[in-house]
Amino acid sequence: MLSQLSINNYALINHLSIDFSNGLSIITGETGAGKSILLGALGLVLGNRADLSSLKDTSQKCIVEAKLAITNYNLQDFFEEVDLDYEAETIIRREILPSGKSRAFVNDTPVTLSVLNELRTKLIDVHSQHQTMQLSDTSFQFAIIDALAQNQEKIASYKSGFTQLNVLKKQLEVLETQQKEANQQYDYNLHLFTELEKANIKKEEQDELEEKLEKLNNIEHIKLNLSEALEISINEEIGIQNLLYSLETKLTKIAPFSKEYQEVLARITSVKIEVDDIVTELENANETVEFHPNEAEEINDRLQVLYNLQKKHYVNSNEELLAVLEQLSEKVRQVESAEEEIENKKKEIHAVAEKLDNIAHLISNARKKAIPHLTKELQNLLADLGMQNARFSIKVKPTIIYFSNGKDELEFLFAANKGGNFGELKKVASGGELSRIMLSVKKVLSENTQLPTIIFDEIDTGVSGEVSNKIAAIMQNMSKNMQVIAITHLPQIAAKGNSHYKVYKEEVKGVTTTNLKQLTTEERVVEIAEMLSGKNISDSALIHAKELLN
């Protein structure tokens, strides 16, 4: 419920703060007094777009703040979902800075306009004259029927599955596109993959082969140097081995005389052992070094295979070739396993679609059962509102198409006069008739949905006399379960409010401003009398006003 609205520096309003009560609140005022400004400010705080033209004083910021009592509306889960602090008295604030920047807050936490718009649908329904065109909107017509059919939970479950179905269909589309593209390259990729796989490439193979080939290509030089190295090592006269043996013998003779000699002897012995080991390795190397022309040719051939493959795939190493092999393997695998993946995805889609079909069937049946009750209730309400011959023809037609709210198409037709043909509302109903139909619809919705506040902006357009009393009675009845605020120009409706507010303009120091005030009982008599007879209030108008209020 809207408990307070504060407006600062908006349009013609300097500062305004007004408290609202539950029940039926009436707002009246002369044409041009600023009733639309009030709705504009309320729309702003509820998430409408704003610009600098909203500022009365463009050097100061505009602030609109609404306090709402929301204890009984089960909004805790929504607040938690959008990460907001839940307060029984929630405060929504909207600011427009002189720079044109706009900010919004819920309980002092910054929020986006999308969150604000989502919250407004749970708090306030503002109905203005142009919104009667909603009646011709299929989504709105379904919303009326589904409210009576108590389809909310079923539709929420359906929408969850509908989203999942669309995701799966998109995934299937991607898979099929990928398969189509992959199929076009499959034969070539398979050829490349097979060629690389048969090459049996090893990561370190190239380095090893290049080193081995280098050795084979220099075998004579290696053999010569190994032979000369052995000659230097083992020659009987000048060989390193014999010289070390001689040196060891000499030092062995004098080692007993000094620790210093013993240490030198130990070092010579160590060197001799190392040289002996080197000589052994040189002898082994010399014996195994042989030139094999066939082996060099085989290595050359193998390296050429690797070089050609690297050139073909624009890489520089076996490691990169192995990466290419892995990529080709994945491409080939995708094509070969795509059919299975696609088939599995189709099975998933079928399973989800089957569940959706069941839910859609329940939704459709509930709609069909609700339609006779809705038709009867709307026709009865309209008869009270002076449209005794109004008739509705509402038909739900199941289809094979998945819509966002089920699998039905809706035919929602109307005839205003006896013997008249049924047609679309926007084509066969006048503006006044549309207003009365919308009021009837809102009455039905108010009994079947939980909405804290509804605001009617001159929904009484085009009616008078007894019909206006009936409209007032419907609003009064609605206000027993919810807060109703009605902007009206009819005294019959104005007199039925639990509280009454007047919008008026005044000029101060040559500047026009809009204000709003709550009227006392005496002020209400004068206001309603003025609505009956104009500025020159007659005694009979005052008497009539008092009768209406009583």
DSSP per position, 76-109: HHHHHHTT----SEEEEEEEE-TTS-EEEEETTE
pLDDT digits (tens, 9 = 90+) for 7-16: 999 988 889 9
40-54, 199-213, 349-363, 505-519 — most confident range: 349-363
Q: Is residue 184 a contact partner of residue 277, using CB atoms and an 8 Å limit?
A: no
Q: What confidence category does residue 131 fall into, taking pLDDT thresholds of 50, 70 and 90?
A: low
pLDDT for the residue numbered 130: 60
Identify the pLDDT of residue 129: 62
pLDDT tens for 27-40 read 998 877 788 888 88
Question: Using the 8-state DSSP alphabet, how is residue 421 labeled?
Answer: P
Query: What is the reported pLDDT for 61?
Result: 92
pLDDT digits (tens, 9 = 90+) for 254-268: 888 889 988 988 998
pLDDT at 48 exceeding the cut of 70: yes
Nearest to 283 by CA among 212, 202, 342, 229: 229
Mean pLDDT of 53-57: 83
pLDDT in tens, 429-488: 887 788 888 889 888 888 887 767 899 888 877 677 788 888 899 999 999 888 999 999
Q: Average pLDDT for residues 514-541, to the nearest whole number?
A: 91
Q: How confident is the model at residue 293 (pLDDT cuts 50, 70, 90)?
A: low
What pLDDT score was predicted for residue 421?
A: 87
DSSP 420: P
In percent, the amount of the chain with pLDDT more than 70 equals: 97
1-128+450-519: CATH homologous superfamily? P-loop containing nucleotide triphosphate hydrolases (3.40.50.300)
Residue 254 has what pLDDT?
Answer: 87
Distance CA 411, CA 397 (A): 8
Is the pLDDT assigned to residue 216 strictly greater than 80? no
Mean per-residue pLDDT over the chain, rounded: 87
SS3 content of the chain, % helix, strand, coil (to 5): 60, 20, 20
Which pLDDT band holds residue 425 (cuts at 50, 70, 90)?
A: confident
Largest CA distance in the chain: 154
Confidence of residue 62 (pLDDT cuts 50, 70, 90): very high
Indicate if the pLDDT at residue 537 is higher than 90: no
Confidence of residue 332 (pLDDT cuts 50, 70, 90): confident
Residue from 60, 65, 20 nearest 42 by CA: 65
Closest CA to 390 of 382, 402, 401: 382
Task: Enumerate the domain spans of the chain.
Answer: 1-128+450-519
Please give the residue that has the higher pLDDT: either 287 or 109. 109
- pLDDT, one tens digit per residue, over 147-173 is 899 998 999 999 999 999 999 999 999
